[in-house]
Amino acid sequence: MAAFSIRNIDEDVKERLRLRAATNGRSVEAEIRAILVEAVTPSLPSAGLFGTLLERFGELGGTELDLPPRVAVPRSSALTE
Answer for the pair 47, 54: CB distance below 8 angstroms, yes or no: yes
Domain boundaries, the chain: 8-42
> Model's pTM, two decimal places?
0.53
81 falls in which pLDDT band (50, 70, 90)? low
Answer for the pair 23, 34: CB distance below 8 angstroms, yes or no: no
- Identify which has the larger pLDDT, 67 or 9: 9
User: For 14-55, what is each residue's pLDDT tens digit?
Assistant: 999 999 999 999 999 999 999 999 899 877 666 788 878 888
Answer for the pair 51, 44: CB distance below 8 angstroms, yes or no: yes
Q: Rounded to an integer, what distance in angstroms lies between the CA atom of residue 61 and that of residue 81?
A: 48
Q: Rounded to an integer, what distance in angstroms lies between the CA atom of residue 20 and that of residue 38?
A: 15
Q: Rounded to an integer, what distance in angstroms lies between the CA atom of residue 60 and that of residue 53?
A: 11
